[in-house]
């Protein structure tokens, strides 16, 4: 399990790909973005009970992006944009899956991310962080350190132009897998003793192992739902969410990254 702990996923509509394909034939194949829409590549969802109380996982990511126009693609159901240029940028969400799991949607996602480098901006969150690293030449494993849950603190060894503030952040985490070797050219912008490669900056893409879209209430509900799996980690993790977090700050970083011109990847 990664990032979102329940595998009971909903299936979203499949009609967007039809209209997206038609638009791509008219405009996207000329290599231009159709508009400023952000494509949310939804790679998982939470349980029905949590969804009823907190909304879909993709909705949390949408809220993090503010008033930007978004389109949701249900990657697990086989939905991917018709072209890398169908949207100006893509946010790859968390998932219960791991990048090495034998799911039929993972390899097409990796291929799409490789095709999108330099043609659209990319933002990865948790599983998205891991699958981007895997796609671009890094290494991801099931960490022998076990689960990372609760509010984690990260040092910021380098700051990109879209970052600001003190050189430390506190953001919720929920993961087992980790990036253990970043892709060549990726700069580490967030790290901790538990997660040395918690944030990566590729220039035209960024990714984070943690979850800036999680509210403390949701993060705690997620832990309680799978409390037996976390054993002694659960109590301290729940307590940690009573401390201030930097989710809004990281959300502003992502917004600035999406709004700022960047140098395309080679």
Does residue 265 form part of some domain?
Answer: no
User: How many CB atoms within 10 Å of residue 104?
Assistant: 8
Q: Domain tally for the chain?
A: 1
* Contact assessment for residue 69 and residue 103, using Cβ atoms and an 8 Å cutoff: no
CATH number of the domain at 240, please.
3.40.50.880
pLDDT in tens, 242-261: 999 999 999 999 999 999 97
Mapping DSSP onto H, E and C, the string for 147-190 reads CEEEEEEEECCCCCCCCCCCCEEEEEEEECEEEEECCCCCEEEE
Does residue 7 form part of some domain?
Answer: no
Does residue 264 form part of some domain?
Answer: no
* Contact assessment for residue 109 and residue 43, using Cβ atoms and an 8 Å cutoff: yes
Does residue 266 form part of some domain?
Answer: no
SS3 84: helix
pLDDT in tens, 107-131: 999 999 999 999 999 999 999 999 9
Does residue 8 form part of some domain?
Answer: no
Does residue 130 form part of some domain?
Answer: yes
Does residue 68 form part of some domain?
Answer: yes
pLDDT in tens, 157-166: 999 999 999 9
Does residue 9 form part of some domain?
Answer: no
Among 26-30, 79-83, 198-202, 211-215, where is mean pLDDT lowest?
Answer: 26-30
What residue numbers bound the domain in which 23 lies?
Answer: 16-259
């Amino acid at each position: 399990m990664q990032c979102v702990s329940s595998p009971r996923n909903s299936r979203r509509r499949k009609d967007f790909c039809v209209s997206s394909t038609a638009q791509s034939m008219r405009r996207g194949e000329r290599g231009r973005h159709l508009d400023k829409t952000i494509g949310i590549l939804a790679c998982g969802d939470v349980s029905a009970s949590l969804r009823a109380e907190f909304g879909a996982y993709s909705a949390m990511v949408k809220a993090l992006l503010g008033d930007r126009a978004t389109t949701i693609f249900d990657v697990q159901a086989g939905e991917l944009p018709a072209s890398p240029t169908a949207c100006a940028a893509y946010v790859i969400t968390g998932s219960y899956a791991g990048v090495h799991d034998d799911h039929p949607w993972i390899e097409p996602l990796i291929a799409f991310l490789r095709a999108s480098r330099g043609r659209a901006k990319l933002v990865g969150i948790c599983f998205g962080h891991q699958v981007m690293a895997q796609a671009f030449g890094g290494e991801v494993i099931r960490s022998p350190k076990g689960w990372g849950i609760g509010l984690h603190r990260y040092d910021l060894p380098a700051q990109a132009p879209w970052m600001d503030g003190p050189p430390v952040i506190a953001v919720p985490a929920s993961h087992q897998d980790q990036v253990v070797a970043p892709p060549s050219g990726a700069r580490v912008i967030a790290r901790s003793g538990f997660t040395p490669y918690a944030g990566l900056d590729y220039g035209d893409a960024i990714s984070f192992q943690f979850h800036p879209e999680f509210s403390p209430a949701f993060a705690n509900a997620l832990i309680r739902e799978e409390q037996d799996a976390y054993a002694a980690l659960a109590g301290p993790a729940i307590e940690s969410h009573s401390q201030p977090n930097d989710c809004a700050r990281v959300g502003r970083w992502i917004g600035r990254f999406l709004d700022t011109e960047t140098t395309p990847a080679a």
